[in-house]
Amino acid sequence: MKRLLEKVPDVLLFQGRVGSLTEPLAADATDYSYGTDHVITQGRYRSSVQDYNRVQVFGSGDVGEAFTWGEVDEVFDRLLQVHDLNLCTFQKTQDRANSALREQLMAALDGEINVSVNCGQELFDVIEVTDNAVGLAAAKRRVMGLELRYSRGQRPEYRHVLSLGGV
């Protein structure tokens, strides 16, 4: 399944017993905000360079290519080449190159926040994070993982740990 999903920009989202494909878009609207009314008790944020910033996709006769020019200027050329003979048009190879590069853009921003439970939070939602301690103000991130933790102690409580990625 993982190899099959590499060929499309979609992600597999399960809701109950039903799985569906959804494409996370950079233009997706924000679903919720953390750090203003919904307090962040702990946060970790990281911005890194992409594993690759240039993608070439070779199909059966056509080549698609995508770049992140800002990254190329900073850390030089990091190339990924994909060979897929099932791609028979330029548009398909170009879409695959854009999709692979977009995946890297999303992975270059990561982190996690620890917040009180939000029962409406779902995977792949777009959220805004405001954490004045580290200089984030309404920074858009995508929820890439959800973990519900229960801690026993003086004050037993449930917490959500949200793994973050780029939008």
What are the domain boundaries of the chain? Answer: 24-48+108-165, 54-107
159 pLDDT band, cuts 50/70/90, is very high
pLDDT (mean) for 143-165: 94
Q: What is the dihedral of CA 121, 125, 130, 133, to 10 degrees?
A: 80
Question: pLDDT tens digits for 85-106?
Answer: 999 999 999 999 999 998 898 8
Task: For the full predicted model, state whether its pTM sits above 0.75.
Answer: yes
What is the residue type of 162? Answer: L
Fold topology of 24-48+108-165: Elongation Factor Tu (Ef-tu); domain 3 (2.40.30)
Does 137 have pLDDT greater than 90?
yes
What pLDDT, on a 0 to 100 scale, did the predictor assign at position 153?
86
What pLDDT, on a 0 to 100 scale, did the predictor assign at position 45?
95
* 43 neighbors 134 (Cβ within 8 angstroms): yes
- Distance between CA atoms of 24 and 103, rounded to whole angstroms? 10
Question: pLDDT tens digits for 16-68?
Answer: 889 899 888 889 999 999 999 999 999 999 999 999 999 999 999 899 999 99
What pLDDT, on a 0 to 100 scale, did the predictor assign at position 81?
96
